[in-house]
């Protein structure tokens, strides 16, 4: 898809003094490989890609949503729906978010909360984009890995998990939507839940000219920003192989304004923005 430059960019850091090379601090914690089997006993690594997002205006809690991790070139990003960070129509203007991270492989119930500012010096720190049809409801923000708790336990998608344009996926293919519907989750172990979904429109075709495809799944508020994933049957794992593909980012449910709430059930259809937008947003 044809994409413009991100509409909201983090401010550029000041240039180092002439002749001085500013060293980049090594990341404090490395994500666990998503394709290395089950490095944490009894835990599917897909569950460790996601985290529950809380949005705040100062100390006032606003909403909850879903986010997931993307690792690229030694950098770590948190991905979610753009409307989680800002939604003018819904008068939603948080200034920070929180995420939960596991901190003990031997006891997955141990977790810590990390606060991430959304603005710095009056500028938005997240990245978003537009395409030929307008704004894309996907955003990501870089995570300062040096601020993560020691021994953080999480997995991250990489560019290798994002579906290539030539990949063919059949209509009706079984998909997974991993998230926190209405904030519901395993509160003891800080784990998301998984909804089964199916592909409801032609993958690779921009539905109604927009940069998303449709899924058939039961979803709720709080699932915004969830990864939409397809498993690769029989993937052997190990170097050079991937166990799943990240197809898209769940955004919202569809409904019909003409639907009779008494006579007609909800459509049960959702839009998921194509994941290749993340390759553009995570560049540089």
Q: Contact 94/80 with Cβ under 8 angstroms?
A: no
Q: How far apart are CA 213 and CA 200, in angstroms?
A: 8
Q: How far apart are CA 117 and CA 126, in angstroms?
A: 10
Q: Is the pLDDT of residue 220 over 80?
A: no
Residue (of 279, 226, 275, 224) closest to 247 by Cα position? 275
Residue (of 233, 279, 263) closest to 79 by Cα position? 279
pLDDT, one tens digit per residue, over 57-102 is: 999 999 999 999 999 999 999 999 999 999 888 898 999 999 999 9
| DSSP letter (8 states) at residue 150 | T
CATH number listed for the domain at residues 45-281? 2.40.10.120
Q: How far is CA 181 from the centre of its chain?
A: 14
Strand ordering across the sheet containing 139-142: 111-117, 96-102, 50-57, 60-72, 75-80, 139-142
pLDDT at 238: 53
* pTM for the predicted model, two decimal places: 0.83
Three-class DSSP category at 207: helix
Three-class DSSP category at 137: coil
From 87-101, 142-156, 211-225, 258-272, the region with the lowest mean pLDDT: 258-272
Q: What is the mean pLDDT of residues 246-258?
A: 75
Give bridge partners of residue 269 from the DSSP assignment.
Answer: 216
Q: Is the pLDDT of residue 10 over 80?
A: no
pLDDT, one tens digit per residue, over 30-55 is: 788 888 777 788 888 999 999 999 99
Q: What is the mean pLDDT of residues 233-245?
A: 69
Question: Is 44 buried (19+), middle (13-18) or exposed (0-12) by CB count in 10 A?
Answer: middle
pLDDT at 2: 34
Confidence category of residue 236, pLDDT binned at 50, 70, 90 = low
Q: Where are the domains of the chain?
A: 45-281
């Amino acid at each position: 898809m044809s994409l413009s430059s991100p509409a909201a960019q983090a401010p550029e850091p000041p240039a180092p003094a002439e002749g001085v090379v500013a060293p980049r601090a090594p990341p404090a914690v490395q994500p666990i490989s998503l394709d290395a089997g089950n490095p944490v006993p009894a835990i599917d690594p897909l569950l460790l890609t996601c985290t529950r997002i809380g949005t705040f205006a100062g100390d006032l809690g606003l909403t909850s949503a879903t986010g997931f991790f993307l690792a690229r070139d030694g950098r770590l990003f948190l991905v979610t729906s753009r409307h989680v960070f800002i939604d003018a129509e819904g008068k939603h203007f948080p200034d920070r978010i929180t995420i939960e991270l596991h901190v003990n492989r031997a006891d997955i119930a141990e977790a810590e909360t990390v606060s991430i500012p959304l603005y710095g010096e009056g500028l938005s720190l997240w990245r978003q984009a537009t395409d030929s049809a307008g704004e894309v409801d996907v955003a990501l923000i870089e995570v300062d890995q040096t601020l993560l708790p020691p021994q953080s336990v999480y997995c991250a998608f990489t560019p290798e998990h994002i579906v290539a344009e030539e990949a063919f996926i059949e209509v009706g293919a079984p998909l997974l939507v991993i998230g926190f519907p209405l904030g519901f989750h395993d509160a003891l172990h800080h784990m998301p839940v998984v909804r089964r979904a199916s592909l409801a429109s032609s993958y690779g075709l921009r539905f109604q000219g927009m940069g998303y495809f449709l899924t058939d799944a039961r979803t709720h508020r709080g699932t915004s920003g969830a990864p939409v994933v397809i498993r690769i049957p029989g993937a052997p794992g190990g170097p050079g192989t991937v166990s799943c593909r990240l197809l898209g980012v769940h955004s919202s449910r569809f409904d019909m304004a003409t639907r009779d709430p008494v006579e007609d059930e909800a459509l049960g259809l959702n839009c998921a923005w194509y994941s290749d937008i993340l390759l553009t947003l995570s560049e540089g």
